Amino acid sequence: MKGEENMRALRLYGPGDIRLVEVPIPEIGEDEILLRTKAASVCGTDIRMWQNGYRGVDEEHPLTLGHEFAGVIERVGAKVPFYQPGMHIALQPNIGCGICDRCVAGNQHLCDDYKAFGINMDGAFAEYVRIPAAAIAHGNLMVLAEHVPFDQASVAEPFSCVYNGFSKCFVKPGDYAMVVGAGPIGLMHAMLLKLAGATVMMNDLSEERLAICRDLLPGVLTYRGDDLKGYVMEQTRGRGLDVAITANPVPQVQSAMLDMMNYGGRINFFGGVPESKQPVPINTNLIHYKELYLTGSTRSSIAQFRKTLNFVEQNLISLAGIVTDRYPLADVLTAFDNAKSARGLKHTIVFD
Ligand SMILES: [Zn+2]
Ligand SMILES: [Zn+2]
């Protein structure tokens, strides 16, 4: 394969301006890898970048989007250890600097200097992706067992973020857990909570989304109404929740959860709230008298990313139902339109 060959890529040129264009297949250095993309999923971040543009991205400096992806190694630089052409690979897209305290502690996703595929370097809505040396050296690549489908591997990134939030809630069998927000993220939270042995309740404004949850996760309780606390107290026989996850951007939900918690309950504010709606009022006496743990989480570490793919590899969890819509790269603009209108769950580009 030579540098003059072309590939198709979905590039961002500015606010509201994405185009499927022909670009040269990336050249790789001797410490880099060329990955042939097999699946890449659309994320809310992609939609926001499309709508709002992104700093540094303009007509002269377009960016290939796509940070949730998996593929097959096409070519390996002469100095790259271990990796071989043909290996199935999933990627944790956040590449830390590797030398700060947070990176050394394994939290490269909290690095001040992190770079990410599809955010500030070319991503995976393209037939090929160049994998830089730092990603290889830091362990961002994970070799997939061949029975793990690429489309499921492409949603391992959001799933690993969910696992990060889940890990902070010390879930035990028999816990009562509530997930507010029944999008793909809320659903993945429910999957993990169920795997951990919790009784899982879900709340959303959309009956359509709750129906999808009941379909994919038999046994999960769903509630749509205006007395969430009454529902929780009824289901838990007055005890309250042991675990609550807010998988939505609504400040009132964050405030309201504290009052529904059992003593020693753990809350994870998974979804961020728009800065314009801060500060969110919280009754800190509820934390004090009920000895609550209030946690937050953002992105995920490489270790968490690998762990979540192990769940799929071990058939403990299937992410098949999360990918509701599949498209060839030629239809990527339709995929973006559908993802924007929040139809279905995950919209995924599959390559042949
Ligand atoms: Zn994402
Ligand atoms: Zn760092």
Rg of the chain, C-alpha, whole Å: 21
**Where among 272, 296, 320 does a domain terminate?**
296
pLDDT in tens, 68-105: 999 999 999 999 999 999 999 999 999 999 999 999 99
Output the CA 103–ligand 2 centroid distance in Å. 4
Output the CA 299–ligand 1 centroid distance in Å. 9
**Where among 252, 267, 296 does a domain terminate?**
296
Q: What is the CATH number of the domain that holds 91?
A: 3.90.180.10
Q: Which ligand is nearest to the CA of 118?
A: 1
Q: Token pair of 254, please?
A: 């964050």
- Considering the domain architecture, whether residues 284 and 343 belong to the same structural domain is answered as no
Q: Which ligand is nearest to the CA of 124?
A: 1
Output the CA 185–ligand 2 centroid distance in Å. 27
- Considering the domain architecture, whether residues 243 and 323 belong to the same structural domain is answered as no
Output the CA 260–ligand 1 centroid distance in Å. 30
Q: Which ligand is nearest to the CA of 67?
A: 1
Taking the alpha carbons at both ends of the chain, their separation in whole angstroms is: 18
Domain span at residue 83?
Answer: 6-158+300-350
Q: Do 221 and 199 meet the contact criterion of CB atoms below 8 Å apart?
A: yes
Alpha helices in the chain (DSSP H): 44-52, 101-104, 133-138, 150-154, 156-167, 184-195, 207-216, 228-235, 251-257, 284-290, 302-313, 332-340
Output the CA 282–ligand 2 centroid distance in Å. 32
163 in a domain, yes or no? Answer: no
121 in a domain, yes or no? Answer: yes
- Considering the domain architecture, whether residues 287 and 184 belong to the same structural domain is answered as yes
Give 10-residue mean pLDDT values along the chain (352 residues).
80 98 98 98 96 97 98 98 98 96 96 95 98 97 97 96 98 98 96 97 94 94 96 98 97 97 98 96 98 97 96 95 96 97 92 92
Ion ligand 1: protein residues whose beta carbon lies under 5 Å = 43, 45
314 in a domain, yes or no? Answer: yes
- Considering the domain architecture, whether residues 224 and 315 belong to the same structural domain is answered as no
Q: Do 119 and 92 meet the contact criterion of CB atoms below 8 Å apart?
A: no
Cα(142)–Cα(148) distance, integer angstroms: 12
pLDDT score for 4: 67
Output the CA 273–ligand 2 centroid distance in Å. 25
61 in a domain, yes or no? Answer: yes
- Considering the domain architecture, whether residues 16 and 148 belong to the same structural domain is answered as yes
Q: Token pair of 190, please?
A: 């429910």
Cα(298)–Cα(153) distance, integer angstroms: 20
164 in a domain, yes or no? Answer: no
Output the CA 247–ligand 1 centroid distance in Å. 14
Output the CA 174–ligand 2 centroid distance in Å. 38
DSSP 3-state of 342: coil
1 in a domain, yes or no? Answer: no
- Considering the domain architecture, whether residues 128 and 256 belong to the same structural domain is answered as no
Q: What is the CATH number of the domain that holds 240?
A: 3.40.50.720
Cα(42)–Cα(338) distance, integer angstroms: 10
DSSP 3-state of 351: coil
Output the CA 130–ligand 2 centroid distance in Å. 21
150 in a domain, yes or no? Answer: yes
Cα(70)–Cα(76) distance, integer angstroms: 16
199 in a domain, yes or no? Answer: yes
Q: Which ligand is nearest to the CA of 160?
A: 1
Output the CA 250–ligand 2 centroid distance in Å. 31
> Which residue is associated with the tokens 């969890």?
317
Helix (H), strand (E) at residue 131: strand 128-131
Output the CA 162–ligand 2 centroid distance in Å. 22
Q: Which ligand is nearest to the CA of 106?
A: 2
- Considering the domain architecture, whether residues 209 and 284 belong to the same structural domain is answered as yes
- Considering the domain architecture, whether residues 78 and 184 belong to the same structural domain is answered as no
- Considering the domain architecture, whether residues 59 and 77 belong to the same structural domain is answered as yes
- Considering the domain architecture, whether residues 122 and 58 belong to the same structural domain is answered as yes
Number of structural domains the chain divides into? 2
Cα(210)–Cα(276) distance, integer angstroms: 29
Q: What is the DSSP string of 267-315?
A: EEE-S---GGGPSPP--HHHHHHHT-EEEE--S--HHHHHHHHHHHHTT
What does the chain come to in residues?
A: 352
Q: Which ligand is nearest to the CA of 102?
A: 2
Output the CA 284–ligand 1 centroid distance in Å. 32
DSSP 3-state of 119: coil
- Considering the domain architecture, whether residues 278 and 346 belong to the same structural domain is answered as no
- Considering the domain architecture, whether residues 151 and 118 belong to the same structural domain is answered as yes
DSSP 3-state of 215: helix
